[in-house]
Amino acid sequence: MDNTPPSVRTTSPGSRRRRALDAASRPDLWKRGPVLAALALLLGLLMMLHARIPNRGLGNLGSLVETFLPWFGLFVPVLLAGALWRRSASAVVALLLPVAVWLNLFGGLLGDKSDRGGDLTVAGENVSAGNPDPARTARSLAASAPDVLALVELTPQTTGIFEEGLAKAYRYHTVQGTVGLWSTLPLSDTRPIDVVDYGPLARTMPLDRKLAPNRALRTTVTTDHGPLTVYVAHLGSVRVTPGGGFRTASRDIGSQALGKAVAADPSPRVVLLGDLNGTTDDRAFAAVTARMRSAQDVAGDGFGFTWPAAFPVARIDQILVRGVQAESSRVLPANGSDHLPVAAAIAW
């Protein structure tokens, strides 16, 4: 007879496994939390099939979901906590779907893919029309020392401040409307790009809804490795309204125009810098992303969110490349604008 008290008896590994299997096979564990299990499956399907969510008739719901798609992963720990509280085996198993989908979509962004190489450093920032101290912003950008610097949302009041603040660091520069490019290397063949052509809508659209012209430019940077074509763009803003949904009309028009310009450009090496007011996951940028790659996706460290500067939730400030290799991509510190600046090292 075993006189060992129950509290000190040892249990064999085989016995522990049998108990665990018996506990997992209890029918009530699988019947609990059906709502949590359903929500987990819906979350996984939403992320998996985001490209099938329509825009028309739903206030651009598909684009809205794609703009904040990485953040849907935050629902996983919330649902997991609920599943554990309810002791729902079915909900825990159902959560495997959204976890697998999220990792497939964004797992590659979690590691540091940057390299120390690079022949040229490019940077860009939306310096904000309401910037309280543009001189400070100019000093900060000059201190980061990119070879090519693109600025958007310049105003007549701030353009001169940036020209003065960047004059010592950059010998060459061009400003076209509200966008500009500063460079340590010569520029040539500079011209504005029309990204605000509303076509037939222009006749009926109210003046207060039309964007100012000259929100994009194209120029050629002369480098030791050959010419580099650089586009600088600031696409239309987007708004989320209760009645109109995700309003993106002017931005989408600009994206199509920009995509056509890049597609028609014969240059073998192209870089696009600017505030596109959208993420590269958004289908609205298919005309651009079909031909160019995001430096952040290729050589970044993390998601690289840039807006708003106080608490970034989306990367809407982009560096896209074609014909050159992104070696590293990073977000620079806040400098007074409501956007964070971005930089990338590229190599031939």
8: pLDDT strictly greater than 60: no
Query: How far, in Å, CA of 158 to CA of 165, rounded?
Result: 11
Higher pLDDT, 211 or 337: 337
Residues 6+ apart with CB under 8 A from 17: none
- The beta strand positions in the chain, using DSSP E, are 120-126, 148-152, 172-176, 179-183, 187-192, 216-223, 226-234, 239-241, 245-247, 270-275, 293-294, 317-322, 325-331, 342-347
- Give residue 58's pLDDT band: very low, low, confident or very high (50, 70, 90): confident
* 149, 166 contact by CB (below 8 A): yes
- Give residue 10's pLDDT band: very low, low, confident or very high (50, 70, 90): low
* 60, 245 contact by CB (below 8 A): yes
- Give residue 297's pLDDT band: very low, low, confident or very high (50, 70, 90): very high
- Give residue 200's pLDDT band: very low, low, confident or very high (50, 70, 90): very low
With tokens 């460290």, the residue in question is 301
- Give residue 27's pLDDT band: very low, low, confident or very high (50, 70, 90): low
Question: What is the mean pLDDT of the segment spanning 90-115?
Answer: 95
172: pLDDT strictly greater than 80: yes
Question: What is the mean pLDDT of the segment spanning 164-190?
Answer: 98
Over the Cα atoms of the chain, what is R_g?
Answer: 26
Residues 6+ apart with CB under 8 A from 231: 193, 216, 217, 218, 258, 261, 262, 270, 271, 272, 273, 274
* 266, 305 contact by CB (below 8 A): no
pLDDT at 179: 98
212: pLDDT strictly greater than 70: no
22: pLDDT strictly greater than 70: no
**Residue 219: CB atoms within 10 Å:** 21
Q: How many helices (H) and strands (E) does the chain have?
A: 12, 14
**Residue 212: CB atoms within 10 Å:** 10
pLDDT at 203: 43
Lowest mean pLDDT among 17-21, 86-90, 131-135, 222-226: 17-21
pLDDT at 207: 42
Question: What is the mean pLDDT of the segment spanning 297-314?
Answer: 96
Higher pLDDT, 153 or 211: 153
Angle at the Cα of 28 (from 26 to 29), degrees rounded to 5? 70
34: pLDDT strictly greater than 80: yes
92: pLDDT strictly greater than 70: yes
pLDDT at 210: 45
Question: What is the mean pLDDT of the segment spanning 320-333?
Answer: 98
What pLDDT digit, counting tens, does each position of 155-171 carry? Answer: 999 999 999 999 999 99
67: pLDDT strictly greater than 60: yes
Q: Where are the domains of the chain?
A: 14-109, 120-347
- Give residue 205's pLDDT band: very low, low, confident or very high (50, 70, 90): very low
- Give residue 19's pLDDT band: very low, low, confident or very high (50, 70, 90): low
pLDDT at 186: 98
291: pLDDT strictly greater than 80: yes
What pLDDT digit, counting tens, does each position of 261-271 carry? Answer: 999 999 999 99
Determine what percent of the chain is predicted with pLDDT higher than 90: 81
- The beta strand positions in 16-162, using DSSP E, are 120-126, 148-152
Query: How far, in Å, CA of 49 to CA of 275, rounded?
Result: 27
Residues 6+ apart with CB under 8 A from 112: 301, 302
- CATH assignment, 120-347: 3.60.10.10
Higher pLDDT, 279 or 27: 279
**Residue 88: CB atoms within 10 Å:** 24
With tokens 């000093």, the residue in question is 139
Query: How far, in Å, CA of 304 to CA of 109, rounded?
Result: 9
pLDDT at 32: 86
**Residue 122: CB atoms within 10 Å:** 29
Residues in the chain: 348
pLDDT at 15: 64
Query: Which tokens is 143 given?
Result: 């201190």
What pLDDT digit, counting tens, does each position of 240-249 carry? Answer: 988 889 999 9
Question: What is the mean pLDDT of the segment spanning 135-154?
Answer: 98
Q: 234: buried, middle or exposed (CB in 10 Å: 19+, 13-18, 0-12)? A: buried
